[in-house]
């Protein structure tokens, strides 16, 4: 069954390769690598000063969404705002990686953060998108020693029933996904996401295409996102099982029932400043999937920023990452907030 879906992954990647490639205006350079991750920086435009930031995408898709095009690259926008950006890219797992779950992926984020700190001679900020942000939050709860703070963008943190339609639909699949073994093809996860939120993954993306036709830049962005969605990546079965069962089904993160390496983690453990960005139109991580976690943090400054859907970004889940207004208005404000929260190293 999974082998058949893996073949579809190959076909979708081939389809993506047939579409016109849109590359950033300068290639990234690899700075370090681990077992399932690579760390990239900028070339000549790498900023020598300013706060270092480690960008962490969701492992379900390629990291290119954070460095998609010259005009829609969060990495380059942060560099222009005076930050030192580093991008963590997840590598394709093999059959030998099937038992790598939440603890392994959180550990890899901490490994990359340690490398960034050594390179920058300063504690980095973690900026995580989607499930990448969820993993960043867990990493900060487990050990904040290497970090300066968190910015979580469209990242679900609370998973109580009713927190999002996406959560409720996926929770129904928990018994099936909780027993999956072997690498889980990205195409299968994409199909399940479409089943969980057809209004977003089918109808809304078509509406965005039609809305973008009269705007050349928005249309180019829309097509770049569509190409990116075809570049599938598989996930280890253990990660899928634990995300679905321990997060989406049990809501273990907010309830303080998430245990890694024998230690229970709770929002009360957070000691770093946290800014979360949520879009009310995002069915994956709406405000209701973020606020309960923020409300449970008692020992660190937290802030919630609501950001609307932007035409051309295809899904509301990407508005704050790719949107033109977000790059022009939201991220300068976020960087200013980060600078205001700076602590002695």
- 3-state SS of 71-138? CCCHHHHHHHCCCEEEEEEECCCCHHHCCCCHHHHHHHHHHHHHHHHHHHCCCCEEEEECHHHHHHHH
Q: What does the DSSP 8-state code read for residue 312?
A: T
d(CA 242, CA 251): 11
> Taking Cα atoms as reference points, which of 50, 52, 33, 28 lies closest to residue 112?
33
Q: Is the pLDDT of residue 176 over 90?
A: no
Q: What is the pLDDT of residues 149-172, one digit of tens each?
A: 999 999 999 999 888 888 887 777
Q: Kindly indicate the confidence band of residue 144, based on its pLDDT and cuts at 50, 70 and 90.
A: confident
Q: Kindly indicate the confidence band of residue 345, based on its pLDDT and cuts at 50, 70 and 90.
A: low
> Taking Cα atoms as reference points, which of 33, 48, 53 lies closest to residue 116?
53
Specify the higher pLDDT residue, 272 or 168.
272
d(CA 146, CA 111): 10
Q: Provide CB contacts within 8 A for 281, sequence distance 6+.
A: 308, 309, 316, 319
Q: Kindly indicate the confidence band of residue 43, based on its pLDDT and cuts at 50, 70 and 90.
A: low
Per-residue pLDDT, 8: 42
Q: Is the pLDDT of residue 322 over 80?
A: yes
Domains, the chain, ordered by start: 2-340 (3.40.50.1820)
Q: Kindly indicate the confidence band of residue 24, based on its pLDDT and cuts at 50, 70 and 90.
A: very low
- Tell me the whole-structure pTM to 2 decimals: 0.91
Q: What's the whole-number mean pLDDT along residues 227-239?
A: 87
Q: What is the pLDDT of residues 57-87, one digit of tens each?
A: 999 888 989 999 888 999 999 999 999 999 9
10-14, 180-184, 192-196, range with the lowest pLDDT: 10-14
Per-residue pLDDT, 45: 46
Specify the higher pLDDT residue, 149 or 2.
149
Per-residue pLDDT, 167: 85
Q: What's the whole-number mean pLDDT along residues 297-311?
A: 95
Q: What's the whole-number mean pLDDT along residues 239-246?
A: 89
Q: What's the whole-number mean pLDDT along residues 27-56?
A: 81
Q: Is the pLDDT of residue 138 over 50?
A: yes
Q: Is the pLDDT of residue 92 over 60?
A: yes
């Amino acid at each position: 069954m999974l082998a058949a879906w893996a073949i579809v992954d190959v076909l979708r990647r081939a389809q993506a390769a047939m579409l016109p490639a849109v590359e950033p205006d300068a290639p990234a350079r690899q700075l370090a690598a681990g077992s399932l991750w690579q760390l990239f920086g900028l070339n000549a435009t790498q900023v020598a000063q300013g706060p270092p930031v480690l960008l962490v995408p969701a492992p379900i898709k390629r990291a290119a969404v954070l460095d998609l095009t010259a005009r829609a690259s969060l990495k380059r926008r942060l560099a222009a705002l005076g930050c030192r950006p580093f991008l963590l890219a997840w590598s394709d797992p093999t059959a030998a990686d099937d038992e790598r779950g939440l603890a392994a992926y959180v550990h890899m984020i901490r490994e990359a953060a340690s490398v960034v700190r050594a390179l920058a001679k300063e504690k980095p900020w973690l900026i995580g998108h989607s499930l990448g942000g969820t993993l960043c939050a867990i990493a900060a709860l487990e050990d904040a020693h290497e970090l300066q703070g968190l910015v979580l963008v469209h990242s679900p943190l609370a998973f109580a029933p009713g927190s999002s339609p996406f959560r409720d639909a996926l929770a129904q699949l928990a018994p099936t996904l909780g027993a999956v073994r072997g690498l889980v093809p990205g195409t299968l996860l994409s199909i399940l996401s479409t089943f969980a939120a057809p209004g977003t993954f089918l109808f809304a993306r078509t509406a965005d295409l039609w809305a973008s036709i009269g705007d050349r830049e928005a249309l180019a962005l829309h097509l770049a996102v569509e190409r990116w969605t075809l570049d599938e990546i598989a996930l280890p079965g253990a990660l899928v099982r634990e995300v679905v069962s321990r997060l989406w089904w049990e809501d273990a993160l907010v309830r303080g029932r998430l245990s890694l390496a024998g230690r229970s983690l709770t929002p009360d453990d957070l000691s770093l400043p946290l800014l979360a960005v949520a879009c009310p139109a995002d069915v994956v991580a709406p405000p209701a999937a973020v606020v309960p976690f923020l409300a449970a943090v008692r020992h660190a400054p937290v802030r919630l920023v609501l950001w609307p859907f932007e035409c051309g970004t295809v899904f509301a889940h990407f508005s704050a990452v790719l949107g033109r207004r977000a790059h022009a208005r939201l991220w300068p404000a976020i960087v200013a907030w980060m600078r205001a929260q700076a602590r002695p190293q």
